[in-house]
Structure 1
């Protein structure tokens, strides 16, 4: 049976008194530590510090002390010695570290000091600037935590009373094995049986939890319900192997053209799982209908021929109006047919050369677009990408000022001939 939540008054500072137990004083004599022949003596440690401060290498220090290199390196690490052979830490650096380390991001401070982030961490440790970890829970804190959980005090109020973060209180309570008084009772056999019955209908976990609450069972959330159902061995099909009967139902759907939605709900499978199994069974392309499960009228041979002839040459919306379909349907079917829109095809080397010649010899961007069969905006963007902006003030020759109707049409061949010996034989509407 769950308890009602117990709110704390503002003047409550302690839930229960805590009297620490007297610590037992050890009476046995201390045992003498065994002497190690390779133990570091104080004199060796001082010599190591002095040699390290003088910027000797680890190999030199090892030869000086008569110890292996690995042992010297380990001792240097244990002593927390750090150095920068190229630039030592100055008093100003240490003052800046002490002033800003706790308030600024380490990366920002490292960039200002011109050092690495790891170097700042090591220096902060030597200067005792590193933030210590959370102190261990005291006996008084554990006593307040136990009393708060027993009385049903909200966890947020317990955290405020003790002075610990909310997540820290929950973690500590889990470590102590505490159960909050307001937490729902454990699952009963009747509740688990009813939850399995509702789950078999395909309802979502949140809806099942609401139905259980309406029927008088303890209030739970969808997450806890899902965890309990999985412990009972119930699953929604994720990772469940396919059996022969399911494969037969999938083949039957492709043979008869039945919808996959009822089958997916019946099998408890996701759309991705269905698609993966179709690929594994080799059913793709074997549907009784030519367009598979796609809804809408079937594309005729005449419609596909018109789409193949006009796609990329006239606006897609105009094609959709002529065929009597939506723009998205036209784009989707063109993609299925492998058609490529003319405005999206990659530029060839000859086209790049033609654009550069047009930019150099003063040919209009619109004339270039007509010659290449592309949109002027696409030509302008690509020309800027290759360093030939048509509106560049530094362009060698400006575009023609005559009316476009009075100019001679330009072709790709004529543009390519501009920088060759045949340019004199080609008539182009160049700028005067």
Structure 2
């Protein structure tokens, strides 16, 4: 019998456990991406979703705040999205040639993203970041680039330097197999420290600065007042290409993403998660004189780039996000969720911080204050994982690490119910002990 949020507790997930045992015989760790193996108490397997809910193989229903790790911005099975994709499928999956959907979807992005003059289609955020770097190098004639600690720009060798920690964390590498030479490509600067990044850029040795304009991957840390504008000025002064990684923030934190929200125009913007409502699509938008270089010496290729199925999904997604009231509702729901989680921590005497920007929130437990990436690293993730299991038992599906995504399908009642479940789950987690480890 299916469970719903707030109903009787789910005690176990036998069908998911059986599915996981089966997939471990054919997939490394039984999952298609290693991050999913970290989902407590073990990876769950789902049969489908509708709106703000997912249903697992055992028939349990959950309010979903994972949303495919971000892309499902319209919720599951959105009618306009599914109809657009279904209408395209009989006409073929890809042509290896041009079609009008390429321009129609690109025009919608140019209309929304400040400063965008051209759009380059790709398939994933990692690919988008890689071609953005190549474009910056080809434009400036420089090789190295600057990024910020904790910012994620995909899993390629140079981009993974300085992201969280890993087996070679003392060297700044996040994965075994990353070549030591990748360290020569990048300088990692503290997020929000203008003096540090200014000192790097004034050497005029860097092709680009990459940043998440809101550090969503490591704490949902908004930029300090004026930081992005000053970063823009420094890049102009030193001839450095400014790249906003809006894989998460794009079309989520405003109609024109974080560039619109904070009033700063980068040279290039990478987009992915929200752009096609869950279908695999990425884009690089920005200045024509940079992006046009892919026709005169800078190689950008990809068999699946701009295929009509995902661009039909992109058009439908952007049309839905353009409906009146979407972003006002995102702000209201994000604020209600963030304030609700924070109030629950306070009511139970749990040390922690909740950050929220638009429809993305971050719950950081065990840290008295959390203003930096280093603060975020001090969170008690073991306690939070136990809390996640208690929420699962009560029908709420959320990410490890503390990040929450909200879709257009979530309702006021969903948010209120989720806050109640979080409060009940926090009480249950404290009762099973031990309490969070506090970082001072």
| TM class, shorter-length | under 0.3
Q: Output the TM-score relative to the length of structure 1.
A: 0.18
Q: Is the radius of gyration larger for structure 1 or structure 2?
A: 1
Question: Which structure dedicates a bigger proportion of its chain to helix?
Answer: 1
Q: Output the TM-score relative to the length of structure 2.
A: 0.17
Question: Which structure dedicates a bigger proportion of its chain to strand?
Answer: 2
